[in-house]
Amino acid sequence: MKLVVAIIQPHRIDSVRQALTDIGINGLTITEVRGYGRQKGHTEIYRGAEYTISFTPKLKIEVALADDRADDAISAITQAARTGKVGDGKIFVFELLAAQRVRTGETGDDAL
């Protein structure tokens, strides 16, 4: 199993969700996070004074997948999240050691 972690622009979440649903992936977890990469931060101006916002708001998506679905999911997320500008985010993939559904106790791929 794989755990796909994607950091994306917050306003792309609806299209990412749609793209994952379209390829039959039902279920993901999102977290509001802040950070910076090449985009660095941005500045905001209040009453004429500039404030540096070093950590830009992003969404973190976590999806647990069977091994054979990971590549599809990664390309779906990439396509749906992409705007072509700096700050579109990154995708990380981890080996997932175990999974268990709390209600039934199912494990492994059956739990996803």
Partner 1 sequence: MGQDTVIDAADTAWMLTSTALVLLMTLPALALFYGGLVQAKNILSVLVQCTAVAALCSVLWFAFGYSLSYSGDGDWLGNGAAFFLANLARDTVRSGTHIPESVYVMFQMTFAVITPALIIGAYVERIRFAAVLLISALWLLIVYAPVAHWVWGGGWLAKMGVMDFAGGIVVHVTAGVSALVIAWMIAPRHEFPHGIRPPHAPWMVMVGASLLWVGWFGFNAGSAVSSGADAGMAMLATHLSAASATLAWMAIEWIKFGKPSLVGAVTGTIAGLATITPAAGVAGPLGAVLLGAAASCVCYLAVWAVKRVIQVDDALDVLGVHGVGGAMGTLLLPFVSLIGAGGGHLNHAVGAQFQVQAIAVVVVALFSAIATFVITKLADMLVGLRVNLEHETQGLDFATHGETGYHTNR
Residue type at 46? Answer: Y
Strand partners, 62: 5, 29
Among 23, 34, 51, 90, binds partner 1 (CB under 8 A): 51
For residue 80, the minimal CB distance to partner 1 (Å) is: 27
C-beta separation of 64 from 3 below 8 A: yes
Q: Is 36 helix (H, G, I), strand (E, B) or coil?
A: coil
Candidates 19-27, 48-56, 64-72, 99-107 — which segment interacts with partner 1 by CB under 8 A?
Answer: 48-56
Asked if 44 touches partner 1 (CB under 8 A), the answer is yes
By CB under 8 A, tell whether 33 contacts partner 1: no
* Contact residue for partner 1 among 52, 84, 95, 98 (CB under 8 A): 52
Residue where the block lists tokens 């492994």: 108
Binder among 14, 38, 48, 105 for partner 1 (CB under 8 A): 48
| CA angle (54, 94, 72) in 5-degree steps | 100
